[in-house]
Amino acid sequence: PTPFNATVMANPQLKNYIMQLYLGSPPALVWLIIDTSYFITFTQCGPCIGDGCTYEPFWDYIATGQNHLISCQTQRCFNIYESQCDNRFDYYCAAPQVTIDGTQTVNYLSFDTITFSPNISFSSSYFGCIFPFFTPPNVYGKAYGVVSLCNNPNSLLSQIGVTKFSYCLQNMNSDSSSLIYFGESANILFSEFSTPLYSNTPSGQYNSYYLVTILSLDIPPVGRIPFPGATSSTQGNINIQPSTYLTYLPSEMVTQIVNAFTTPNRYSRANSVETNQGYSLCFNISSTNGAFIVPTIAANFVGGSLILNQQNTFVEVEAGVMCMTIVSASGNISTPGNVIWGNALQTNFYIQYDVGDNVLRIQPDP
C-alpha cells in the first residue's frame, strides 16, 4: 500500500502512547494504545452495559446501525477465536476475554473500514468489539482499546499488508504530537545500528512478541553488567514494547544497576516511595535545588550500543523525588513478555521495526 502515517500522543495517565484512527463509515475518531504484542486490535463499541459504569466510548457502534459483528459459524471466527459462541448476543463470535483494570469483559469479532487519512483506508478490516460490564474512571485515559502492531496474522499490521513501521516517541509529559510511519515512509535514513528482530508466539497463547537480544549494560563506575546467559547467538531475550512504561530486567542486573547509581552516594534514598510505588531506586533531591546528575547507560545489543541518558532512566514521580525507570522482572526471564524494554528507554529515538527483513533499526533523535 501507499506509505502513510498517523498521529501519536503521549497518554501520561497510563504512561503509554495512543494513536489516532477512524473506524466505520462514516469514519468516527478513536484513540487506541499502540501495542506490539496483543494479537488483534480492539475498541469499545457501545455503552457500558452493567452496574458501575463510569466511562462512555467515543463511538457507539451499535447506534450507527452498522452491525458488522461476525457470526460464530464463520470460518473467520474459527481461524481467530477457535469458534467460541456467545448466546447472549445472537451467537456472535466471542474472543478471549479482555482484562481491563483487573475486570474481564467480552470481546467480539467485527469488521469495518479502518481509516488513517482521507486517502488511506482499508475496508473489511477485522477488530475486536468490547461491550464492558464495568468501566473504571478513564481506564485508558484518552484511549479505550489497543491497535495491534504485532507479527500475527490477525493484527492490523498484517491485515493492511505492511511490513515496516517506525516511531520516535516524545517525552511522556509533552503536549506535542509525533507520528508513526507505515510502509516505505517508515525508513530510517542513517540508523546508528541494527539488531536482529525475532517474533515469538508462545505455545498456548494468542499474543506475539517482538524480541531483540541485549547482551549487557555498561555503567560507570561499576562497569559491565551482563544479561544472564546472553550471547551473540541468543535469539531474543527482551520484548520491545511501546505500551509499557517501565523496563523490566533480571533482578541480578537491577541489583547491580542500583549499586552503580548509589555508589557515589550523592543523594539520599526515598525508601518510602520505592516501597509504596514499586520502584527499585528513588532519590530525594529536594535539598539539591533541582540538581540531579547520574551516569549514562550504554545498552549493548547484538549489532551495536545505545546510549541512555538520565531523561530515559529517571523520572520525577513527585516533587523532589526521582525514580529509576528500570525495575526487576517477575517470573521466568526466558518467558517472552516477562523481560521488557519499556517506552521510557525508547523516548527520543527513531525506532524502525522491519518485520519483512527481521531487523530493528535505531537512530537517536538529533
pLDDT digits (tens, 9 = 90+) for 239-251: 999 999 999 999 9
Residue with cell 484518552: 142
Pairing of strands 103-117, 340-341: unpaired
Strand partners, 193: 362
Q: Which residues contact 62 (CB under 8 A, 6 or more apart)?
A: 45, 46
* Whether 115 contacts 121, CB under 8 Å: yes
Mean pLDDT of 24-51: 80
Find the range with the poorest average confidence among 174-183, 197-206, 216-225. Answer: 197-206
DSSP 110: E
Find the range with the poorest average confidence among 49-53, 74-78, 252-256, 353-357. Answer: 49-53
Is the per-residue pLDDT at 134 higher than 90? no
- Banded pLDDT at 200 (limits 50, 70, 90): very high
Q: What is the pLDDT of residue 14?
A: 84
Torsion from C-alpha of 341, 342, 343, 344, nearest 10 degrees: -100
Looking at per-residue pLDDT, the higher value among 341 and 68 belongs to 341
Q: Which three cell numbers stand for residue 111?
A: 469488521
Mean pLDDT of 109-124: 86
Looking at per-residue pLDDT, the higher value among 12 and 341 belongs to 341
Looking at per-residue pLDDT, the higher value among 204 and 181 belongs to 181
Question: Which CATH architecture best describes the domain 189-364?
Answer: Beta Barrel (2.40)
Looking at per-residue pLDDT, the higher value among 265 and 258 belongs to 258
Is the per-residue pLDDT at 144 higher than 80? no
- Ordered alpha helix ranges (H), 63-159: 75-81, 156-159
CATH class of 4-184: mainly beta
Q: Which three cell numbers stand for residue 333?
A: 526471564
Cα 80 from Cα 94, distance rounded (Å):
10
Collect contacts of 71-77 with beta carbons under 8 A, ≥24 apart.
76/109, 76/126, 77/109
Is the per-residue pLDDT at 52 higher than 60? no
Cα 159 from Cα 53, distance rounded (Å):
33
DSSP secondary structure, 311-359, as one string: HHHEEEEETTEEEESEEE--S-TTSTTTSEE-GGGTTTEEEEEETTTTE
Q: What is the pLDDT of residue 135?
A: 54
Q: What is the pLDDT of residue 71?
A: 81
Q: What is the pLDDT of residue 138?
A: 47
Cα 225 from Cα 68, distance rounded (Å):
53
pLDDT in tens, 64-92: 555 678 887 777 777 776 556 766 656 77
DSSP 201: -
**Cα 227 → chain centroid:** 22
Mean pLDDT of 256-284: 94
Cα 229 from Cα 332, distance rounded (Å):
13
Positive or negative CA dihedral for 338, 357, 243, 86? Answer: negative
* Whether 164 contacts 151, CB under 8 Å: no
Q: What is the pLDDT of residue 362?
A: 94
Return the H-helix or E-strand segment holding 249: strand 247-249
Is the per-residue pLDDT at 267 higher than 70? yes
Q: What is the pLDDT of residue 65?
A: 55
Cα 36 from Cα 254, distance rounded (Å):
24
Q: What is the pLDDT of residue 148?
A: 94
Q: What is the pLDDT of residue 94?
A: 77
CATH 2.40.70.10 intervals, the chain: 4-184, 189-364
**Cα 203 → chain centroid:** 21
Q: Mean pLDDT over all residues of the chain?
A: 86
Q: What is the pLDDT of residue 111?
A: 85
Q: What is the pLDDT of residue 103?
A: 57
Map residue 35 onto helix, strand or coil. Answer: strand
Number of residues written out for the chain: 366
- Banded pLDDT at 314 (limits 50, 70, 90): very high
Residue among 121, 99, 299, 132 at smallest CA distance from 216:
299
Looking at per-residue pLDDT, the higher value among 128 and 249 belongs to 249
- Banded pLDDT at 118 (limits 50, 70, 90): confident
Mean pLDDT of 301-330: 96
Instruction: Report percent pLDDT > 90 for the chain.
Output: 56
Mean pLDDT of 304-324: 95
Q: What is the pLDDT of residue 96?
A: 63
* Whether 358 contacts 197, CB under 8 Å: yes
- Ordered alpha helix ranges (H), 89-192: 156-159
Find the range with the poorest average confidence among 60-69, 122-131, 341-350, 353-362. Answer: 60-69
Give helix then strand counts, H and E, for the chain.
5, 28
Instruction: Report percent pLDDT > 70 for the chain.
Output: 84
